[in-house]
Each structure stands twice: as structure tokens, then as C-alpha cells.
Amino acid sequence: MAKNSLSYLNLKCEARAHPEGGYGVFAVGKIKTGELISLWGGRIVPKEILDPAMPRFTQRVLQVDEDLYILTAEEAEPNDCFNHSCEPNLGFFGQIGLVAMCDIEAGEELMFDYAMSDGEPYDEFDCYCGSLNCRKKITGNDWKLSELWEKYQGYFSPYLARRIEALREVQV
């Protein structure tokens, strides 16, 4: 992991090897609801210059607005290690921040639902999170699922919150 990270990670958190392979971010101290966990740092780039063939593409790229993405450092950073869950304990705060959606105990893995930030198909995959509400397949269109709108109200990236509001207006 990069020693001089461009991103912020709460001192009560650490990225480390995941017991099931790869990496994850875990709480090393008790975290309260609403506590700031992470802020991504990097370079804002338009969609047309993204290169899906670059090393660690899906770990380095986060959609922050319509056709805009934040590209993190080439060397892996702790903030590149947040995993997806269909029952997350983190939600978005603005375009680049994550906050705790509930109290979190030391030792728990910190995860967010990629539906909160992904509105394009650049990071689609089969899900094995094991939650009772697992969607089994994660897509760039999951933000359109109305059952997630209430569940994650206030925790979507702002550009997706605008999209959701536009869809709600059409449905009325």
C-alpha cells in the first residue's frame, strides 16, 4: 500500500488482507453512526480518457458525477480496498466521502453498496456477499432499483440522487 496516500482513511480503520482473498478495510476501533470513514483523493478525469486496460482499473476508478471519475494513485492505497456488500455499513457523503450508516464494532469489515456510486457498467460482477438481500449480480443500473432508494436515502452519490429524483418525478 502507498505510504503517501492521496486519500484520507479514519485512524479507526485499516486495509489488510481479507480472509477470503484480496483486501478489505476493517474497523480497528468502535465507530459511531455518521462518523467520517474515508475521502478519496486523486485526479478527476472524464469518461472518454479512462482506460479499462490499466492495471487495477476497477480498484482505482470511482464515478463522481455524470461522465466524471476520480482516478486514485497508481500504487494501491487503503481506500482502494473497500469491498461491496448488499447490506453495507457505509454510505456516501458527497461525491468522495464515506460515512458510517450505523455503529460499527472493532473487527467488522467496512463495506458500501456499489449501487450508491456506480451509474455506468464499468465494474459489474457476480456478488457473493452472503447477505439475505444479496442481488447476486451487481450492475451499473442497480441504483434504479426503487427498493434501494429508501434503504439508502441520503447515502447515494449526489449525481445518482439527482437521477433518482428525476425518475421519481416521472413516476408521479
Model pLDDT, residue 172: 67
Q: Which residues of the chain have pLDDT under 50?
A: none
What's the CATH code, domain 8-171? Answer: 2.170.270.10
Could you tell me which of 59, 18, 12 has the C-alpha nearest to residue 36? Answer: 12
Task: Name which of 136, 130, 162 is nearest 149 in CA terms.
Answer: 162
Q: Phi/psi zone of residue 94: left (φ > 0), alpha (ψ -120 to 50 degrees), beta?
A: left
Residue 119's pLDDT is: 93
**pLDDT at 113 (0 to 100):** 97
Residue 121 CB contacts under 8 Å (≥ 6 apart), including other chains: 139, 140, 141
Residue 114: its pLDDT value, please? 96
pLDDT of residue 123: 83
In the DSSP assignment, the letter for residue 162 is: H
Has this prediction a pTM greater than 0.85?
Answer: yes
- Residue 122: the pLDDT is 80
For 106-140, what is each residue's pLDDT tens digit? 999 999 999 999 999 888 899 999 999 999 999 99
Question: Structural domain boundaries of the chain?
Answer: 8-171
